[in-house]
Amino acid sequence: MDIIQQFINGLSLGSVYALLALGYTMVYGIIKLINFAHGEVYMIGAYVGYYVINTFKLGLVPTLIISMVICAILGVLIEYFAYRPLRKSTRIAALITAIGVSFLIQSLMIYFVGADTLPFPQIIDNQNYDLGLFEISKIQIIILLTSLNLMVLLQLIVQKTKMGKAMRAVSVDADAAKLMGINVNHTISFTFAIGSSLAAAGGILIGLYYNSIDPMMGVAPGLKAFIAAVFGGIGIIPGAALGGFLIGLIETFISALGFTAYRDAAVYVILIIILLVRPAGLLGKNVKEKV
Torsion of the alpha carbons at 55, 59, 65 and 69, rounded to the nearest 10? 10
Report yes or no on whether pTM surpasses 0.75.
Answer: yes
Mean pLDDT calculated for residue range 9-24: 94
Instruction: Give phi and psi for 173, each to the nearest 5.
Output: -160, 105
Share the mean pLDDT of the chain: 91
**Domain boundaries defined on the chain:** 3-119+137-277
What is the predicted pLDDT for the residue at 289? Answer: 44
Residues in the chain: 291
What is the predicted pLDDT for the residue at 290? Answer: 40
What is the predicted pLDDT for the residue at 291? Answer: 36
What is the predicted pLDDT for the residue at 286? Answer: 60
- Considering the domain 3-119+137-277 in this protein, what is its CATH number? 1.10.3470
What is the predicted pLDDT for the residue at 260? Answer: 87
Mean pLDDT calculated for residue range 15-31: 93
Share above pLDDT 70 across residues of the chain, in percent, rounded to a whole number: 97
What is the predicted pLDDT for the residue at 219? Answer: 93
Q: Which pLDDT tens digit goes with each residue over 191-247? A: 999 999 999 999 999 999 999 999 999 999 999 999 999 999 888 899 999 999 999
129 pairs with which residues across the strands?
Answer: 136
Q: DSSP for the chain, please give it.
A: --HHHHHHHHHHHHHHHHHHHHHHHHHHHHH----TTHHHHHHHHHHHHHHHHHHH---HHHHHHHHHHHHHHHHHHHIIIIIGGGTTS-HHHHHHHHHHHHHHHHHHHHHHH-SS-BPPP--S---EEE-SS-EEEHHHHHHHHHHHHHHHHHHHHHHHSHHHHHHHHHHH-HHHHHHTT--HHHHHHHHHHHHHHHHHHHHHHHHHHHS-B-TTTTHHHHHHHHHHHHHH-TT-HHHHHHHHHHHHHHHHHHHHTT-GGGHHHHHHHHHHHHHHH-TT-SS----PPP-
Q: To 5 degrees, how large is the angle CA 8–CA 12–CA 17? A: 135
Contact 15, 208 (CB under 8 A): no
Q: Which pLDDT tens digit goes with each residue over 162-188? A: 999 999 999 999 999 999 999 999 999
268 CB-side CA count, 13 A? 8
Confidence class for position 275, pLDDT limits 50, 70, 90: confident
pLDDT above 80 (res 136): yes
AA letter at 231: F
